[in-house]
Structure 1
């Protein structure tokens, strides 16, 4: 059975395990999100650009995103369209396909790269949206492609990493990661480890360093373990994007750990039990994690000592945290963006978008957000 059919099944089992049956006893155990905390707002955010595209399927929570290059903003619509904006003026809009797009968009080298559920990787011209080439991959593409050394690095849903020539789309190499029998619907976007090595996180709790030119693996390292008894309890995907900070690689896994790998010694510097489906953030010598149950935790990057933990947003389905203009920002299920003091964990303020916040990024000193209802926004501090 192909993995893309296993994933909804795993999610259905997981949902049943978390929520329970329809009995009165199970209903009593149903977890409700914390009410929005009352705070004395000292900081806020103001939108500088915003568009609305089609909303995504609640059962299949895709992490779409905006991207930018040379002052032009690029956005995708899950229904299959790509748009380009200069400021608030739309430069062009094209229909890429009829069945929709499922990955975030990547802008690089004057081109755009985006994928769909049928494994098609599209390359478009940034100037006009004209299609340059299409490549067929082995499975759905649900994370944004990554570009390095004239290679477009993309991870298919079956765990195969593809490298395509940026100019022609010709496949230059592939690498197959182990494909667990059960995994959650998610895939971290590859990141650069160094100028020639791409770092890819797998659903098997391993990270892989691969030479982007040759496709030769340079290392692989297990960064999380699980002691669960059942298949569901042993799910240990790394769905959040790893962070490279100096000599350290920081990862966080579902039902696993936040782990800091010291690349200088090739050893794990420290690891602490936690669970998250979104990536960590590293800033000011700290590691920040949004946990699956809604905590925000801060650890010392070098020692792993917990600095603080905030539980005011429990069960609010927090997004990945990002460091923006001296504050930590995290989104929630109601579209709120919460500003957090990175030193103390105190809530400093909030702003409102529309729909569950799925993706936060900081690009060129601006905050980018995307929600389940298709609200894509760029923010600045108010």
Structure 2
């Protein structure tokens, strides 16, 4: 009897809850119909201990520089095998699958952001100097930090852009820019430029003062998320940035006004590479493109493996050769024509690779560092595709290798964490 009464009671309560939901749902839907704004709204910046330095210049930037070359110059004559120097275990243990942040490295040490929300600074002995915890997003930090003489800049997956004291990790300034920042900033003449994501989905390009975080300008809304990091073509005073709209768009450096747009067949996820008067970039439509940097006019396009590339291209020292990772293969191409010189499958790969290659130029040899298996990095001779060394990992690798003064940095997912190799 008691069981029957309890069952009837549960049914009545469930009916009342369903009725309440039915009555309030139309009101809820009406309340959630927000007005769509035609352009980004400039945000406020909270300032704390600002730097006294007026002039500032970048010391470490994603993909090596503002034109995102993916090229490192070594002081050595030829390639020598890498040896593990030290590691910082257990990085990137968050659940979000976006490409992970790459380390920022300069003469004062190295700075590692991960997808659990920490940004940590280490000295050149591998000792922890300080750590900063954003604590506002379960998806952590995927933007690669940028450093200058006395500050570190990074965006998190909750849309905050931070400037931290390089010596202590204390906040200099913070500004809320949007819903997410997945792109990595570059700096020119003391101004930071970074892509911002909004919820609709939408997004825009933002310029802020590096010293105090003051908003200088925003581009028009672009219509979808800019996971791609902005790149600078200085001779034309343009910033190029791709997005999930499938378009590579150019903006004026001074005010963010749109100059030109080149449309591909799918999302653009990684930064354009600018070299001379050309821009090179990949798309999820399966092609790599070369366009005129000042007009967006197509020069050539080359089909990679089907499934689309999430990789940024890299260029060699004399600008004649490109390296890029496709869906499940690596490619090396001629910059003049887009002709594929050689290609290699990523062994055991069943899903789209997310890592980007790095070209290292020695005095008498050039090499390319690439993901060659699910958990292995290979170093190839750029000219003849000969494998010179492989580095086995215990976790996944989805960022960009970083090379600084004959040392190689790999920020992996899981037990390996950050691996630092030396030659």
Gaps of 5+ in 2: 1-31, 34-78
Give runs of aligned pairs for residues 1-382 of structure 1, distance below 5 A. Answer: 44-87=81-124, 88-97=126-135, 99=137, 101-102=140-141, 103-158=143-198, 159-180=203-224, 187-194=227-234, 196-217=237-258, 219-222=259-262, 224=264, 226=265, 236-263=266-293, 267-274=297-304, 275-283=308-316, 285-292=320-327, 294-311=328-345, 313=347, 315=349, 318=353, 319-325=355-361, 326-331=366-371, 334-365=374-405, 366-373=407-414, 375-381=417-423
Question: 1:223–1:259: 8 Å Cα contact kept in structure 2?
Answer: no
Q: Structure 1 66/59 Cα, relative in aligned 2: closer, same or farther at 3 Å?
A: closer
Q: What does the per-residue CA deviation read over 1:196-220, in whole Å, with 9 as the maximum and x for residues that have no partner? A: 5332122222223323332233x32
Local SS of the residue matching 1:176: coil
Question: 2:102–2:402: 8 Å Cα contact kept in structure 1?
Answer: no
Q: Which runs of 4+ in 1 moved over 4 A?
A: none
Local SS of the residue matching 1:152: strand
Question: 1:165–1:172: 8 Å Cα contact kept in structure 2?
Answer: yes
Question: 2:93–2:116: 8 Å Cα contact kept in structure 1?
Answer: no
Q: Structure 1: how far apart are the matches of 2:132 and 2:240?
A: 32
Q: Structure 1 282/314 Cα, relative in aligned 2: closer, same or farther at 3 Å?
A: farther
Q: Structure 2: how far apart are the matches of 1:309 and 1:43?
A: 23
Q: Structure 2: how far apart are the matches of 1:49 and 1:262?
A: 43
- CA apart distance, 1:277: 0.9
Question: 1:65–1:376: 8 Å Cα contact kept in structure 2?
Answer: no
Q: Structure 1 187/312 Cα, relative in aligned 2: closer, same or farther at 3 Å?
A: closer
More displaced 10-residue stretch of structure 1: 271-280 or 330-339: 330-339
Q: Structure 2: how far apart are the matches of 1:71 and 1:322?
A: 22
Question: 1:354–1:375: 8 Å Cα contact kept in structure 2?
Answer: no
Question: 1:61–1:372: 8 Å Cα contact kept in structure 2?
Answer: no
Q: Structure 2: how far apart are the matches of 1:92 and 1:311?
A: 40
Q: Structure 2: how far apart are the matches of 1:210 and 1:109?
A: 27
Question: 2:207–2:216: 8 Å Cα contact kept in structure 1?
Answer: yes
More displaced 10-residue stretch of structure 1: 127-136 or 98-107: 98-107
Q: Structure 2: how far apart are the matches of 1:356 and 1:106?
A: 23
Question: 2:280–2:313: 8 Å Cα contact kept in structure 1?
Answer: yes
Q: Aligned-residue CA RMSD in angstroms? A: 2.7
- CA apart distance, 1:327: 1.2
- CA apart distance, 1:60: 2.5
Q: Which has more radius of gyration?
A: 2
Question: 1:295–1:314: 8 Å Cα contact kept in structure 2?
Answer: no
Gaps of 5+ in 1: 3-41, 227-235
More displaced 10-residue stretch of structure 1: 96-105 or 148-157: 96-105
Q: Structure 2: how far apart are the matches of 1:364 and 1:339?
A: 16
Q: Structure 1: how far apart are the matches of 2:311 and 2:166?
A: 29
Q: What does the per-residue CA deviation read over 1:104-160, in whole Å, with 9 as the maximum and x for residues that have no partner? A: 222124211122222111110101111011111122111222222222222122322
Q: Structure 1 57/82 Cα, relative in aligned 2: closer, same or farther at 3 Å?
A: closer
Local SS of the residue matching 1:198: strand
Q: What does the per-residue CA deviation read over 1:154-191, in whole Å, with 9 as the maximum and x for residues that have no partner? A: 212232211122122121111134324xx7xx712222
Please, what TM-score do these two structures have when normalized by structure 2?
Answer: 0.69
Paired residues in the alignment total 326
